[in-house]
Amino acid sequence: MEARRGRLVADLQDPEKYTVVAEVGGEIAGYALVLGHKVSPDDPPTTAPDGYYLIGLIVAPKWRRRGIGDLLTIERMRWVAERAYEVYYFANLQNGATLDLHQRFGFTEVTREFTFPNAPLKPGTCVLLRAPLNR
């Protein structure tokens, strides 16, 4: 838990990320991020496209299945909608809970053959998804 607390503090201080925190009764129930990504000329051709990415959705075990993930996702999509017409997300194919959650918000598959800078993605284990946004 202490490692996650340190990660949250670092994320809150990172100007390149938009961080949303869910609090219930003074307790942090979850948090999630948005990261802007721009492809570099040095990146491989399979690099995920430029755009805003929903990343790092974490909900404390005792608060799961209570709508916290939905609320964090709604807020991040609202924030991105002020800046772009679409939003991206990637996940491990084995993470059915997060894939189901994002499907409810209109995310559809783009590809399974992609890379993302500094993300520990193993080929064939993840999927890149995109959702249109109403502006």
- Cα 31 to Cα 68: distance, rounded to the nearest angstrom: 9
- Of 19-33, 73-87, 113-127, where does mean pLDDT reach its minimum? 113-127
pLDDT in tens, 15-47: 678 999 999 999 899 999 999 999 999 999 999
Q: Are 17 and 11 in contact (CB under 8 A)?
A: yes
pLDDT given for residue 2 in this prediction: 62
Instruction: Provide the token pair at 29.
Output: 């129930």
- Measured distance CA(126)–CA(46) in Å, rounded: 13
Residue 102 confidence (pLDDT) above 70:
yes
Give me the amino acid identity at 13. Answer: Q
Given a cut of 80, whether residue 48 has pLDDT beyond it is yes
How many CA atoms within 13 Å lie on the side-chain side of 117? Answer: 14
Residue 122 has pLDDT above 90, yes or no: no
pLDDT of 134 above 90:
no
CATH of residue 113: 3.40.630.30
Q: What are phi and psi of 126, to 5 degrees?
A: -130, 165
* pLDDT tens, residue by residue, 60-77: 999 998 999 999 999 999
Determine the average pLDDT of the residues in 50-61: 94
Q: Mean per-residue pLDDT for 85-92? A: 96
What is the total count of domains within the chain? 1
- Which pTM was predicted? 0.88
Q: Report phi then psi at 31, rounded to 5.
A: -160, 165
Range of the domain at 63: 2-132
Tokens of 14: 């990172």
